[in-house]
Structure 1
Amino acid sequence: MILTSNAFLISLFLLCGLEEMVLSQHGHCAEEQCYVLFQEPKDFTSAEKKCKDTEGRLSTVISKHIDKMLKSIPSGASGSYWLDLHRATADLQNCSSIAVREGRNFTVSWEPCGEQLNGFLCQYSLGGESCDGLKVGAGAQVKYIAYTGYEVRDSKRFPQGTIAVVGKVGSKYPDSKHVCNNKDWIQAPWFCEVLNGGCEHKCDKKTCLCPAGQTLLPNKITCAADPCAKCAHECQRWGDTYACKCRKGYILAPDRKNCVDVNECVAENPCTGEGEECVNTRGGFQCRCKDGFVKEDGVCVDVSICFKCEHLLCNKTNGVYACQCREGHRVSKKNSTKCEMHCTERECPAKCILNKGLSNNITSLDCFCPDGYIRDGADSANSTEMCIDIDECESGTECDHKCENFYGGFRCECNEGFKLHNVHECLPSEEETTEKGNGSSLGPPNPTAAASHPAAVPSYIKTGSVLGITMFLMMCVMLLLFLLHKAFKRCGKFTFSTIKNQNIDIFYLQQVTAETYKKLSFDKQFTSD
């Protein structure tokens, strides 16, 4: 049932301000009237207004019920309190009050209306919105507490805002709590704005909440010690038994109550991406990029090379960072972090450094040219040292067949049926394809190819030598065959003319002794004579 504003005009004020009144608990209800003693220092006009704001009025009578209430006030409540008895007199400058002295005795007195007394007495009519006694089952008892905090024992009707607490005899906790509203009893929890919704601790959206370590009992208003309160994280229940449970990323400690963090980086190392490393956190882990890597589009990209770039320029191409160079330079093939001079014209200014001697104070100008260029002296127009491209094709290259010069380098080409090998050599190709090769070892264009690949003997000399030697040997063989042919032809027709002559002397060898040889020699001499 919804609590109406009209029904709670009294209780909203009194119940929301009950903290002040509960300390004294000065109230009494009987015979369709309730009397409340407010211990708030006020003058007569302010006290009258306060009673009217709470749908009541200053008490106009002194009844036995007021006497009963005042006698229940402790000695600390002694003082003077405003009443509304001034209508009985024509003196409007002084207003009626009641003075309570030690021994609970009281007397009516008249005080200046502008003076502040210790408090005032308000009177409220139960009217038609009061509640009858709450009906409960057997074995239960009800305790009624008026909105002022005073327990009502001798009444059969109760004003709005009265709290009825139901409980069994000897029970530690109540079974339920109710509030009187528009003749009906509303069970707690109700609106949090009214007496904290009837909750023992905190109320939130008509729901009672308990502090840490306590749990809400079945009456939905009272909190009690939780058997799972010692669990560090969570608790699982099975009837009257329970067990502590840890959240993800934790495991139970040996005491079965506390939870210990799991180091996932050691247990399974879940970070396996390029450039990633695992960092353990409480209850989990994080995959972070290593030093020299940054996260882009969810992956770690290596940027360590950017810290080494000579010209401090770095750019990402196809997902990879690489060094860049300023105008007039390019990245060195030998070292991707270094920059070298680069020229795209036939003539370019040289890079010059002025050096000053340490001993003789003589200055000199050291100038440098890009690879494939040579210093050509100063420009007559602005006295700038210039570099001019070297035409490797005119200066004698090592290309076997053809040579093509470009700024800063050259390129070798092969005739049809040959393919380029080792930058400058042309070898027969089985596929009969024509290929071109750059005379640069640094990629096209590159001015240093010829210098970086020198040959002991030019390849064209090697090829010509082999061809010439082959031809020479073939000619020698043919000449030898020709001479042999001529010789055999002549020997077939050769005859000895002395053999055909009948007068020819035939000589033959005969073994002789020394003496015979002398004799023969002597006879021959004699014959000659």
Structure 2
Amino acid sequence: YKNRALLSRVRGQVCCSCCALGLLVRSEGRGCDAHQYLGYPCGHVFLTCCEEEEDLSQIPLRRKQKPRPTVLPRKENGGCSQQCSAVAGRVHCSCFPGFSLMADGRMCEDVDECATNTHSCRPRERCVNTVGSFVCELQVTCPAGYQLRNSVCEDVDECLVRTHNCGLGFVCENTVGSFMCKPKQKCISGFTQDSHGNCIDINECSSLDEPCGSGFNCINTVGSYSCQQKIIMCSNGYHASPNGAKCVDIDECQMGTHRCGVGQICHNLPGSYRCDCICLLSNSFSSILTDVNECWRYPGRLCAQTCENTPGSYHCSCTSGFSLAFDGKNCEDVNECDKKPCSQECANIYGSYQCYCRQGYFLKEDGHTCEDIDECSQSIGNLCAFKCVNVAGSYQCACPPHGYVMSANGHTCRDIDECTTGTHNCSFGQNCFNLQGSFRCLSFNCPANYKKVSDTRCERISCPANSLDCQNSPTRITYYQLSFQTNIIIPAQVFRIGPSPAYSGDHVVISITKGNEEGYFSTRKLNSFTGAVYLQRRVREPKDFQIDVEMKLLRQGTSTSFLARIYVFITSSTM
């Protein structure tokens, strides 16, 4: 009776194990043909569970639809964990496909086909190990501004994850594949925004329709403009017209500014006047020969401007700004600009001239000299992202001497990627990591008892049985590089860590084991299988950190540790 009960219990355990294997094969989407390699009754149980339809909603699946590992019984018939057979009267243990027999000859452990390179994934596919098998995932390379999620490139919200470089006074707005920095406050009157959010001066003299009235020159200033009355140099007998455009004759007779005496009549002339006498003949027999004043007798008909009487004749002359024509009567306008009376630009006008200045200069009170406008000192908005340098008639924006180049707009500075352009000085065995305005040369070397499996990953080599330190060391060491600016809002989540793939029942413990002596960082557990690293203190000056973040994973009663060695670079936010 006791032997029969023991045999019944053993058969029940074998059936349980074979059924679990059938469920596993079915969940991976593989065929159920493997039953032909199993003996009876295991093959029959395997096939029944593999082909049986049951409510899949009751089977817990991971987010990426990968199979949950099946807990296999540790003790089977003859002490075997999976398969048992009799060879020469002795018990012989074997394992299912995808498992290998451990050194004790009884227990079976999963074969990592990805690590042992026994998988069949193609070059563009990534091997992901599963319990008893593996999965081939298509590798997708996403462009800048996107990240891979569920084999699909999704837009990265730089504003949400705080990887943007918007400075103080700007608000980050996410766009597809990138982001925009918009100023928190609009520009004040007299300024407008360029494409980068900078407040630049509006030239009202060119953008407004006649900002100043006639007779005035428009002078642009930073944030505004001024109207300067045109200065016309008129000769004696002339004054500027009401609109300041030309010189007009002064009617001294009408204004009463003449000097004609009693018994004289005032007659206005261009630029002057004459006094005519009222002559009476007292002796009809007198035959005195007197000079005839042609200028009085024929007013305004002999000379275009000024007539001067001479004994027996007359002489025509012109006022300032005019010269006597070849006919000796008419007056022609003199082009005073030929003598270059202005420091910059000269405009000839009828009877005079006008000085004016080029853009970036203003006309001084003497009406002739132009002086440079210092846009940098008068600027209310930010003309330049880094530094404004005043030059004659304008200004120029400058960038730091190293690590930046001027953008095409001439106002903002663009970071030079020394790693891409090859202008770094990293050695052959180092990795170049670009930063804002600089770069770093990093070495990813594996410690003793580790082998390098990728550019940034080290795997632990199998430990000796008596080496407890080796067994307690991290199974994997992975290197990461992060870059942030000094104006990052604190506290800021800078890193997340968790097992991949994650299974139900996983528990993690996150801690910083090295590099946090000044207490700039802290850790927080987000859920049972995810932890995060936070920057909790503000870093006011550019600073480099190297911190070791350890994750201890408790899975099915076994504890395993992993190490993330993170380089954190805090760069300046002035650009």
Query: Normalising by the residue count of structure 2, what TM-score does the alignment of the two structures yield?
Result: 0.24
Structure with higher Rg: it is 1
Task: Give 1 or 2: higher helix fraction.
Answer: 1
Query: Normalising by the residue count of structure 1, what TM-score does the alignment of the two structures yield?
Result: 0.25
